[in-house]
Structure 1
Amino acid sequence: MPVLSLRPDADINREYDLEYSAGVQHELVTGVSLSGSWYRRGTYNMRRTENTLFNRSNYSIVNVVSPLDGSLIQAYNLDPSKNGQIDRVDFNSTDSNLRRLTYNGFEFGATARYRGGSLFGGWTFDRRISVHCDELENWGNLPGNSFTPATLNTNQPKSDFQYCDQSQLGMPWLHEFKLSGSYLLPWSGIQANAAFQSYAGAPLATRWSIGRTTRYAADCLGPCTPGALVIPNMTPTTYVLDLAPPGSAFYGRQNQLDVGVRKIFRIQKYQFSAQADVFNVLNVSYVKSQNVTLGSSFGQPLDVLQPRLLRLAMQMKF
């Protein structure tokens, strides 16, 4: 395995964010208010890692035919004489056309309070645009990277480099909803509460792990040759390729309902609080992650939402 080599450029500076926000809040009637906010954040001086022992010209472009729909996807095959040569240097990216990260978000909320009860509702929608076209190799320095350390130490191109400019992909806005409330029951001073949350699913990739001997299927789609090597004379032992652009597929929405009750009582000078909460009341088995690499285990769940959970708590103040 190649030895990890990484050093900062002498003139490297910290990344920094510039954030702008604006918000309004208005009370409609006594106890009822509405609010709205806008946020925008840009990241600058972003770090990029460059291998100083070779450059983009040492890669040859190979058109790979997607097994999903027969479309052409570009892969990058490194000159064999450069394989395993690693001298990584961190620089600041100064060209915002090639690297930038922009976030835009809107939040709206409503709050009501009346006779021992309260209710809150919120709606958030946001979008994050990432551009990382000045760095072909996968060094694991992008948010959401899921490759193992062993992969990061090799000359492995990014699986999604062909989709490096998300500003051209029509990235969708993601929506989140929240509704929560509490009410003091008219007997025994018991407070009941409930909360419902609905989150947009995380991006869902579909990847193809190509080996040196991987061949097109006999019934392959598009301009492929059945039985031919996918990447002839491939330099790395494996090449992972994203078959769908970011923003084209997501996990399902995560919906969760939680409920609870709380009772406060006193014994002499001590105050006690007894509480019972049930999380994921509907016992939803939401899939949080799954195998995204084509193969026999493709789509197999790897992590699911924690099942229904009861929590009992007691607090004493003195």
Structure 2
Amino acid sequence: MLFEAGVSHLPTGSLNAPTDVADTTVPGILEVSPLTGLRNASSFLGQTTRNSPKRVEFYRGSVSYVTGSHNLKVGFTFQQQGTFVQTAHGGGWQRFFTFRGAPYRATFYMQQDQTDKANSLGIYAQEQWTLDRLTVNAGLRWDYFDTYYPTQERPTNIWVTAPFTVEGQTIATWKDFQPRIGLAYDLRGDGRTALKFSVNRYGKRNSTELSRAINPGGSNRQMNRSWFDGATSHAFGRNLPSCIGPVACVAGDGIVQGDPTNPLPNGEIVSPNTTPGFGVPVVTTFFDPEWSFGWGKRYSNWEVTGSIQQELFPGVSLDVGYFRRIWVNHNVVDNRALGTADFDVATVTVPTDSRLPDGGGGAISFYDLNPGSVRLPDDVTTSANNFGGESQTWDGIDVTLDARVENVLLQGGLSTGRASNDSCGLLSQVPESAPTGSATGDADTATIEHCSRTQNWLTQLKLMGSYTLPYDIQLAATLQNQPGPERAALAQFTAADTNLGRPLVLYPSAVQLNILEPGTFYGERFNQLDFRVTKIFNLGGTARFRAMFDLFNVLNANAVTIEDPTFGPTWLAPTAIMPGRLAKFAFQIDF
């Protein structure tokens, strides 16, 4: 019988403060193409003060009991976590964004003062039982999780002049049974052929992120408004005003003329406020108690595996396995203040281009909010099964070879798999659940046509081998062959490109859409061959000295690893390639 126990305490944290040369009296400017901090907006010269201490305490204990045919173990794990975030923003609590040098957005902030806590408990029992040629590995784990935030006060700034108290509450309590069972059967009783099968359930390891998601101490802290600094021409061009009365505008002065607390366009603020909860002393984000409390509600996945392992020759074995993962308990954020009638389907025409599949063309669509439906949000996170559900699976096949013959070692294999996701029913009933991206950066807005996606089968080959020569000289090499990067074509569309005949509400500047079907187009595969020579010197007793020479990327391959996803003249231009050939000498002493 074996008893084990342990405890750990991990206090961490970070404190970021403006540097001495940062001017905290003027708004920062961030250029997004290419991403550059022009004024008080970089990591080193920012104007934001952020204090975020964190603590994690972990306890564990177990007892094991082993007999001839049984190996029993029971135990527990318990973890406590606490996070605190306090953020203050200089520059008048605002920041400006430019695209290729032209202003396009002003973002307004309020202070964050947020404390969140979480507890996780797991109690488990597992048994390995040998019955003649059958070995059974069975286990059951009971998981308990709760997360909450204590009572705290929301501070004020120039945009929010009235403080309010956030009443503490427990926002989620989950209880789950996680079964796990594995079977291994010696088919002929000679130890050369084994059939294996397993079914396991794994729950997501949550921390304080659930509490952070709805804690009013950190919610609704940011408001984005379209702002072109009074310019009559700008990066997104067509049919977008630069100044709206009655506030007078001064073009090019770097100051926002207008009142950001006014939800309507005014002055140089040319878009309505699409985040009316900004700074409002009202809780706008909730969890559905039917989802956040109870049994079997945690986001989890089932994994089913089956394989056969065969000894081909003494020291040489082949393993072929199939794996399937099924994710369950998806959730969705439903804005109860909106219904499907509050959204319009906007359709755009895909550009024609010989570089696109079938030359481009066709149409894709996305959801945009009706102008008359901008209102205070009432967001509730609930089960996706309430709105048509979501399915997510992954299927994979592995073929693995393991050979150990005299002075030769060879290991490796072929692995292929693909992922599938279908959220069409969910998207049709909760249009606001569609991921949204900005007109800049790599994020893209989800298109209706791509709500069901099945990835190509992605196959990779990996081999590792070594050979020991006389005089304790070892030769080793590895070979990798993997798919290239997934390709996207992120194209920008303005309101004039759609069928709506009105400005876009959710995307006042422009919307960015992937006009390729996700998961179906990839760059060229890449190969990498690495080589090592090792000489071992015995120093007497157990001491050894190793001299090693490594050569990475022997063939000096230059396959592309990252491509430009922005559709335009530079689409698919390489932005990163494999590191070139590298030689390295290393030494190691073991004693």
**Match for residue 304 of structure 2 among 20, 26, 29:** 20
Give the residue type in structure 1 aligned to 2:401.
A
**Match for residue 166 of structure 1 among 435, 442, 453:** 453
- 1:83 Cα deviation (Å)? 4.3
Bigger drift between 92-101 and 64-73 goes to 92-101
1:280 paired to 2:564: no
Change (3 A) 1:268 1:88: same
Kindly indicate whether the alpha-carbon contact (under 8 Å) linking 2:551 and 2:584 is maintained by their aligned counterparts in 1: yes
Q: Residue in 2 aligned with 1:219? A: none
Cα distance in 2, alignment partners of residues 264 and 178 from structure 1: 27
Cα distance in 1, alignment partners of residues 503 and 524 from structure 2: 36
Give the residue type in structure 1 aligned to 2:307.
G
1:125 paired to 2:404: no
Cα distance in 2, alignment partners of residues 230 and 294 from structure 1: 21
- 1:139 Cα deviation (Å)? 6.8
Secondary structure of residue in 1 paired with 2:341: helix
Cα distance in 1, alignment partners of residues 459 and 286 from structure 2: 40
* TM-score, L = length of structure 1: 0.81
1:234 paired to 2:496: no
Structure 2 matches for 1:96-107, cutoff 5 A? 98-107=389-398
Q: Residue in 2 aligned with 1:268? A: 540
- 1:6 Cα deviation (Å)? 4.6
Kindly indicate whether the alpha-carbon contact (under 8 Å) linking 1:66 and 1:243 is maintained by their aligned counterparts in 2: yes
Q: Residue in 2 aligned with 1:297? A: 570
Structure with more contact order per residue of length (Cα contacts < 8 Å, sep ≥ 6): 1
Change (3 A) 1:196 1:297: same
Task: Flag structure 2 segments of 5+ consecutive residues without an equivalent.
Answer: 1-223, 225-274, 353-359
Secondary structure of residue in 1 paired with 2:501: coil
- 1:79 Cα deviation (Å)? 0.5
Kindly indicate whether the alpha-carbon contact (under 8 Å) linking 1:127 and 1:173 is maintained by their aligned counterparts in 2: yes
Kindly indicate whether the alpha-carbon contact (under 8 Å) linking 2:485 and 2:563 is maintained by their aligned counterparts in 1: no
**Structure 1 vs Structure 2 CA RMSD:** 3.0
1:245 paired to 2:500: no
- 1:151 Cα deviation (Å)? 8.9
Cα distance in 2, alignment partners of residues 32 and 112 from structure 1: 4
Change (3 A) 1:310 1:181: same
Give the residue type in structure 2 aligned to 1:206.
A
1:211 paired to 2:494: yes
Kindly indicate whether the alpha-carbon contact (under 8 Å) linking 1:199 and 1:254 is maintained by their aligned counterparts in 2: yes
Which deviations, in whole Å up to 9, do the C-alpha atoms of 1:185-212 show, x marking residues without a partner? 23x3110111111112342111211123
Which deviations, in whole Å up to 9, do the C-alpha atoms of 1:234-255 show, x marking residues without a partner? 3222212221212331122121
Which deviations, in whole Å up to 9, do the C-alpha atoms of 1:27-59 show, x marking residues without a partner? 111122111111111000012222232133212
- 1:94 Cα deviation (Å)? 1.9
Cα distance in 2, alignment partners of residues 14 and 303 from structure 1: 39
Change (3 A) 1:98 1:289: farther
Q: Residue in 2 aligned with 1:48? A: 332
Q: Residue in 2 aligned with 1:226? A: none
- 1:20 Cα deviation (Å)? 0.5
Kindly indicate whether the alpha-carbon contact (under 8 Å) linking 1:289 and 1:301 is maintained by their aligned counterparts in 2: yes
Cα distance in 2, alignment partners of residues 139 and 61 from structure 1: 12
Q: Residue in 2 aligned with 1:91? A: 382
Kindly indicate whether the alpha-carbon contact (under 8 Å) linking 1:159 and 1:240 is maintained by their aligned counterparts in 2: no
Secondary structure of residue in 2 paired with 1:94: helix
Give the residue type in structure 2 aligned to 1:193.
A
Change (3 A) 1:316 1:248: same
* TM-score, L = length of structure 2: 0.45
Change (3 A) 1:261 1:211: same
How many residues align? The count is 292
Change (3 A) 1:312 1:54: farther
- 1:172 Cα deviation (Å)? 2.5
**Match for residue 404 of structure 2 among 102, 108, 113:** 113
Change (3 A) 1:67 1:33: same
Kindly indicate whether the alpha-carbon contact (under 8 Å) linking 1:34 and 1:111 is maintained by their aligned counterparts in 2: yes
Q: Residue in 2 aligned with 1:76? A: 367
Kindly indicate whether the alpha-carbon contact (under 8 Å) linking 2:487 and 2:523 is maintained by their aligned counterparts in 1: yes
Give the residue type in structure 1 aligned to 2:402.
T
Give the residue type in structure 2 aligned to 1:24.
I
Cα distance in 2, alignment partners of residues 43 and 65 from structure 1: 34
Kindly indicate whether the alpha-carbon contact (under 8 Å) linking 2:337 and 2:375 is maintained by their aligned counterparts in 1: no
Cα distance in 1, alignment partners of residues 445 and 392 from structure 2: 17
Cα distance in 2, alignment partners of residues 95 and 195 from structure 1: 49
Structure (1 or 2) with the larger CA radius of gyration:
2
Cα distance in 2, alignment partners of residues 288 and 306 from structure 1: 10
Cα distance in 2, alignment partners of residues 307 and 51 from structure 1: 50
- 1:25 Cα deviation (Å)? 0.9
Secondary structure of residue in 1 paired with 2:585: strand
